[in-house]
Structure 1
Amino acid sequence: MQEIVTISLSHRANHLSTQFYNCQEQNLYNNDPKNSVDPSVFLDPLIDRRTKTVTYYPRALLWEAKNGNGSLGIYQYIQDTQDYHFKDDKKEIMAGESSHEVVSTHKKIERSKYQEALDNNEPSPKLTKENTEYWSDYNKLIYQPNSFNSLKDWYHDPELPNLPDYQNLKRQRFINNEQGLMEWKSQHEDFLDENLRSVLEQCDTLQGFNLVTDIDSAWGGFSASLLQELKDEVPKCSLFSWGFFESDILTSSKPSIDNKYQVKNAIQNTLSMMDHSDLFFPIYSDSKLSNWEVGGQTCRIYDTVNSVLGHRDSDKRKTMDYITNCITDGDSKRNLITSITEIDKYYDYSYISRVISYDKKNRSNKEYYEFSNCVIHRGPQFLKDNKKNNDMKNKESFRNLETTVFEPSDTIPEEFRTSTQYSVKLSSTEKARDVFKHWNDYVQKYFRFDDNREELKEDLGTLVSTYEHGWYSDEDSGDDL
């Protein structure tokens, strides 16, 4: 058993983590050793020897803005030693010689009908984007109290759930990197010394981490700082970073520089994530979808990669290092997943694939060189159809992996759980060159008074060269901003 811990930072990231752990809860009912995931990889089993039962807790650390947990209390499901009695009318709390003072810090958030149904063992109501505002509205597993972490001065705003509000005053948003860096500096010691160590102590043989976050807001700066210290704390562990990107000037047909913070954050945070991660997965988040829908859609990819890492069958189970080698081919600088495609639907989840081509003359039919890839097949027939050679020494076979059939939770939107057998292709292609070339131009134009301008230009120039194949002339440069 090689455990994997999820560190989830931002409200949107917590929706994805919730969907993933709900699927892990679904997997608990699958006892087929040839087609199931070992629950102990992602869940911490706590055995009660008296009742001879096992309770599974997510191996997770969640970061949220204040009130971002919704109605979920940190100690809601932890047994209290006090004996509580409630008067019929005033609901006053009485506990023998002592009592707890109830302090209200914000308007009470009502529990969802879904959670009430789970607690009462009743049929669950249908989930929609209207009744899944918070990830806690539909989470199934119980988290340990040390899993929860909160920003100090930033509050969740239901109107803009992905941009916390400073002191709940509606005047300043958690939008630029400096805010994220300052917030991390004020909290990192408590997090590393207490909550992180507490989760790590529950692991026998830690394999690595999944870090999920938003890239183009202050969450990205906060996460990049955390990631750097995490790599120093556990340097021998593998680390996969998953970053959500929204549409910006590089993906829009009508470019604008109004979202300059967004692009600036994306550039700085992507470079930092790549520098301190084994693999970086840039995920596109469609603004037309709610966080519940984005989490359900992205879970198809996130669960696919992790199902390979936690497969019960030792012949099919692969390590994080194995997948990293499939993508990087030994070049650790080329660790950006350029394309994340569900082959059967021809749908690419990657932000990179949506960036406008840098080649103005040949944008419509531009073909990019593929440096390497890894194909994960969920279902034996897909492996049989796509695998050309059964010799495991063959390069094609080495990159074709078979894993479990998707076991979606009923909390995932129906359109994202109808197909349970599919194939996902992870690729490293020359398309990344377009992104780094665009970013290099942007830094030159709009970072003129930034202290790290020259360092960013040098790093981006190196990455442009890393993702080049063949010969390029100076004619491919242009001004797209």
Structure 2
Amino acid sequence: MHEIISLQFGQRSNYLATHFWNVQESYFTYNQEEQSPVDHDVHFRPGIGIDGIETFTPRTLIYDLKGGFGTLRKYNALYKSQQQASLPKGLWHGNEVVQQQPIITQNEYQRCLDEGVPPPQLSAETVRYWSDFNRVYYHPRSIVQLNDYELNSILMPFENWHVGEELFENLDKEQDLLDRDIRPFAEECDQLRALQIFTASDDAWGGFASKYVERLSDEYRRVGVWVWALEGREKMLKKQLNQTTNSARTLCAISPQSTIYCPILDPPYSLPSYLSIDLQSEWDTSALVSSAVETITMPTRLRHNGDFETSLIGEGGGLRRIFELQSAIIPERDDQINQPSNLAGKTPSATENEGNKVKVDMTTDFDIDFTVHNNPGKEQQVFNQVRVIRGLDESSEESLKDDPRLARKLGLHKGRPNVEMFVALFITLPFNNVPFQTHLRFPIIDSYPRNLFPRRNRDTGLGICAALTSSSRMGYMIKNMQTTVARTVAVAEREALVNGLGEIRELYEEGWMSDSDSVDD
């Protein structure tokens, strides 16, 4: 068994992770004769709840500020507190006045889930917190509230990168966060595969996560660290500069210590016209991000999985650890979509068999680019790419024979090999011997925005193509970060940060070659 422990830092990350866990919960099968292609033990842990009932809860730690959990309580129906909380008795024997924060009422969706009746359809107006659309029970140890700061506080905003760094150091000094929070989950694992981290990178959570990853790297040296680093879109120039500086600090601190570091714009700047999305709703935008993150990580939890991490090493010997995230929706057959998918880019792509892996041409041209928002405008060098395709329907074989254009978009035709692709299909295509095959599409469950993607049949899932790409575009992005940092950061920190970004940037410049790539004459 190769378990993955997740860590979630802050509101934006918890929106994304809640969509992720809801989708994982939808893969469960309750018929003994039917086995899910997803190995639930990767992300879920067995346990014993109240009255000795067996439980199965996510292997995750959820960190948020005071007031950030909404209606979610530490002890749920599976783990009710054995004792009623009581105020400690002091020396005062007079009248007592108890002050409590206003109780947040459940929305109709959560109330219906608790009562076991079909819930109503959610909307951006009815989702106030990430817990409003949560469908999963968590172990009490998973809930970690940080009481030093309050959500959306004006007096003490949790925005400055160094504030998050200082908060982690103070908490870790008091009670060793890894021993208290991580170790109980890690000791339950037979073979811990990776630590998956959802975090914002452009505010104080970036500083908190940076210190956390530093400790994790010392404690769990042989375990992969996958970081999904969320960045917002601020309209005010001053806040934009602050966000860019915070993101630069996070990238510089975490990427050298991680296996995957993936900056994600939430939401992306450029979106295809076929999406129906409310850009002001974190519920909507995080749902879009989750469709790509859940798809690209699918091979890591299939029962017949392969070595996903090895595919990420690429020709740089594993030195390039910063990846761009891209995706596109596979159109339904005969579906009229306003904008066709660029699943394989504008240039012809190609595939051929090599062992049990499918190879396709690399491209950075997808419908949705979650990382790069300011394309350099010239052809870029792609160093490595891992692509996952899921949800081609049962008529895919005939469709690809009848429609070479669709096959070319998907990169499913013979030619020169360049990039590894894991394919999750309903069928085995006649010219492929693919290592990952499943009937699973991306499910559109009742906690997900119903009209986000165009679909004729709203009860079926989605076909999605997602990719992690390492390209010279990242060097261009880091160069822009250096320019901003040189203008905004104080002298005491500026030189070290600019130089650190420069060292990382060199890995993503065109024509760069590592020592392992060079050959002595």
Q: Which TM-score band applies after superposition, normalised by the shorter structure?
A: 0.7 to 0.9
1:433 and 2:497 correspond: no
Q: 2:258: which partner in 1?
A: 277
Partners of 2:109 and 2:119 within 8 A in 1: yes
- State yes or no: 1:420 paired with 2:462: yes
Quote the residue 2:458 is aligned against: none
Q: Secondary structure at the match of 1:289?
A: coil
Cross-structure match for 2:102 = 107
Q: What pairs with 1:259-338 in structure 2 (closer than 5 Å)? A: 259-286=240-267, 288-312=279-303, 314=304, 317-325=305-313, 328-338=314-324
Determine the structure 1 residue equivalent to 2:337.
none
Question: In 2 relative to 1, CA 190–457 (structure 1 residues): closer, same or farther, beyond 3 Å?
Answer: closer
Report the Cα distance in structure 2 between the residues aligned to 1:102 and 1:310, rounded to whole angstroms: 52
- SS of 1:329 mapped into structure 2: helix
CA change 1:236–1:127 in 2 (3 A) is same
Residues 23-46 of structure 1: CA deviation (Å, up to 9, x unaligned): 111100287988621111111123
Counterpart of 1:226, as a letter, is: Y
SS of the residue 1:152 aligns to: strand
Tell me the residue number matched to 1:374.
386
Conservation of the 8 A alpha-carbon contact between 1:388 and 1:397: no
Q: Whole-Å Cα distance in 1 between the matches of residues 307 and 218 of structure 2?
A: 21
Alpha-carbon spacing, 1:459–1:126, altered in 2? closer, same or farther (3 Å): same
Q: Distance in 2 between matches of 1:120 and 1:280?
A: 41
Aligned AA for 2:384? Answer: S
Pair 1:179-2:163 in alignment: yes
Q: How many angstroms does 1:266 deviate by?
A: 0.9
The amino acid across from 1:151 in the alignment is L
Query: Aligned with 2:297: secondary structure?
Result: helix
Q: Which residues in structure 2 correspond to 1:7-406 (within 5 Å)?
A: 7-29=7-29, 36-46=37-47, 54-77=54-77, 78-81=79-82, 104-157=99-152, 165=153, 170-188=154-172, 189-247=175-233, 256-286=237-267, 288-312=279-303, 314=304, 317-325=305-313, 328-342=314-328, 344=330, 345-346=341-342, 349-355=368-374, 357=376, 363=377, 366-379=378-391, 385=407, 386-388=411-413, 395-396=417-418, 398-402=420-424, 403=436, 404-406=440-442
Q: 1 CA distance for matches of 2:97 and 2:182?
A: 29
Q: TM-score, normalised by structure 2?
A: 0.74
Question: For the structure 1 residues 130 and 103, does the alpha-carbon distance in structure 2 shift closer, same or farther, using more than 3 Å as the test?
Answer: farther
Alignment match, 2:432 = none
Contact 1:16 1:296 in 2 (8 A): yes
State the distance in 1 between where 2:123 and 2:487 align.
44
Distance 2:140 2:99 in 1: 20
**Partners of 2:19 and 2:145 in 1: how far apart?**
20
**Contact kept in structure 2, 1:443 and 1:453, CA below 8 Å:** yes
Instruction: Report the more deviating stretch, 377-386 or 212-221.
Output: 377-386
Aligned letter for 1:63?
Y
In structure 1, what residue type is equivalent to 2:166? M
Distance 1:300 1:102, change over 3 A: farther
Bigger shift: residues 75-84 or 115-124? 75-84
Q: Which residue identity is paired with 1:459? A: G
Counterpart of 2:374, as a letter, is V
Deviation at 1:309, TM superposition (A): 0.3
* SS class of match (1:342): strand
Q: Classify 1:112/1:376 alpha carbon distance in 2 versus 1 (closer, same or farther; 3 Å).
A: same
Shift of 1:50: 9.5
Distance 2:143 2:98 in 1: 20
Write the deviation string for residues 71-124 of structure 1: whole angstroms up to 9, x where unpaired.
Answer: 12112332344599xxxxxxxxxxxxxxxx996531111112111111111110
In structure 2, relative to structure 1, the CA distance for the partners of 1:45 and 1:305 (3 Å cut) is farther
Deviation at 1:6, TM superposition (A): 1.0
Question: CA separation in 2, counterparts of 1:243 and 1:205?
Answer: 25
Q: CA deviation at 1:194?
A: 1.3
Taking the aligned partners of 2:84 and 2:441, their CA distance within structure 1 comes to: 46
Question: What SS does the aligned partner of 2:470 have?
Answer: strand
Q: 1:202 to 1:118 in 2, by over 3 A?
A: same
Q: Does the alignment pair 1:461 with 2:502? A: yes
8 Å CA contact 1:389, 1:396 repeated in 2: no
Q: Alignment partner of 1:376: what SS?
A: strand
Q: Does the CA contact (< 8 Å) of 1:115 and 1:138 recur in 2?
A: yes
TM-aligned CA deviation for residue 203 of structure 1: 1.6
Against the structure 1 CA distance between its residues 430 and 83, is the aligned structure 2 distance closer, same or farther, given a 3 Å change threshold? closer
For 1:451, what is the secondary structure of its paired residue? Answer: helix
Aligned residues: percent identity?
25
Distance, in Å, in 1 between the alignment partners of 2:224 and 2:241 is 33
* Kept in 2: contact 1:352–1:431 (CA 8 A): no
CA gap of 1:263–1:442, structure 2 versus 1, over 3 A, is: same
Residue 7 of structure 1 contacts residue 62 of structure 1 at CA under 8 Å; is this kept in 2?
yes
Letter in 1 for 2:505: V
Q: Do the aligned partners of residues 129 and 48 (structure 1) sit closer, same or farther apart at CA in structure 2, a change above 3 Å counting?
A: closer
The reply to whether residue 410 of structure 1 matches residue 446 of structure 2 is: yes
Matched residue SS, 2:56: strand
Contact 1:339-1:429 at 8 Å conserved across structures: no
Q: Is the 8 A contact 1:343 1:425 kept in 2?
A: no
Aligned-partner SS, 1:179 = helix
Distance 1:217-1:80 versus aligned 2 partners, 3 A rule: closer
Question: In the TM superposition, what is the alpha-carbon distance from 1:389 to its structure 2 partner?
Answer: 5.3
Aligned length: 422
Aligned equivalents of 1:387, 1:102: Cα separation in 2: 70
* 3-state SS in 2 of match to 1:259: helix
Q: Which runs of 5+ in 2 are unaligned?
A: 86-95, 268-277, 331-340, 343-365, 401-406, 425-435, 456-460, 513-521
Alpha-carbon displacement from aligned partner over 1:297-323 (angstroms, at most 9, x marks no partner): 1111121123210002x2xx1344234
Aligned in 2, Cα 1:49/1:33: closer, same or farther, shift over 3 Å? farther
